[in-house]
Amino acid sequence: MNLVVVSEHPCCRIGLATILKGVDSEATIVEVANVDALIDKVGQDGSVDLVLMEGASQVGREMAAISRLQETEGVGSVVLLHGQDQPEIVRRYLDMGVQGVVPKTTEAAVLVGAVRLVLSGGRYVPESILSKEGSGFGEPNYSFDSAGLDRLTRRQMDVLKELGRGASNQEIGTQLGIALATVKLHVNAILNTLGVRNRTEAAIIAYKAGLTDVNARA
C-alpha cells in the first residue's frame, strides 16, 4: 500500500506520516511538500493508493490543489485535513472527488479510522458537519431504510442499538468495550450510511426498525 502525506510544514508531515503507520504498519509512506512534488512522484514511481493532504489557509488554493490531483492519473483516494467547518465548502470538496474531509482538531485514532474507511471504499464526513442545520448532507430521515441498515457492519449495528437507547458515546464505549475514538468513528459511519444528520435521527431509525426499546433503558 502506497500512502502520501502532503504538507508544506515539515513537522506536520512527520507527524501525519507517523499517524498513518497506524493504518498499515507495512505501508510505504512518502512525505512531500506540495502537489507539484506529489505529481512528480507519481510520474516517477507509479500510482498511490491514498493522499492525505493538509489543507491550505485559503480555500481557493485548496480547490486548485484538489483539481490538479483529480486530473492526475495514478492518484487514488484523497483525504483532506482541513480547518473549515462550513458545510457548503465541505460539500464542494466532496463534489470535486475528495473522499474524506477531516478537521485538523481530530484525534489521531479517528484520523486513522477515517483513512481506513476511505481505503475500504467509504466516505468520511465529520459528525460536526453532518449535524449542522442546512448542511445539505441529509434531510431529516425518519423512515426505515432497510438498505442502509444492510450496509452497516455488525459492530455498527451494535452501536446503532445503543444510540436507539439514548446512550452517550462514553456509555456506548463502556457497554461494548471499545475506545471512545472508535465509538465516534462508528457513529460517523452510521450517519453517512443511513443518510441522516445526527444521532437523534439515527436513533429514530433504530427504534422504527425494531432494533431497540427505549423503555428498556434504565
pTM for the model: 0.65
**Alpha helices for the chain (secondary structure H):** 10-20, 35-45, 59-70, 87-95, 108-119, 127-130, 146-150, 154-164, 169-176, 180-194, 199-208
**Cell numbers standing for residue 103:** 478537521
Q: For the chain of 218 residues, list the mean pLDDT of each consecutive stretch of 10.
A: 93 94 91 92 86 80 84 89 79 84 88 86 77 55 56 89 87 92 87 79 79 55
Give the Cα separation of 112 and 79 in Å (integer): 11
Its sign, for the CA torsion 103, 105, 108, 110, is: negative
List phi, psi (to 5°) of 161: -60, -40
Give the Cα separation of 208 and 117 in Å (integer): 27
Give the Cα separation of 218 and 195 in Å (integer): 29
Domains along the chain with CATH numbers = 2-126 (3.40.50.2300), 146-216 (1.10.10.10)
Predicted local confidence at residue 140, as pLDDT:
45
Predicted local confidence at residue 218, as pLDDT:
43
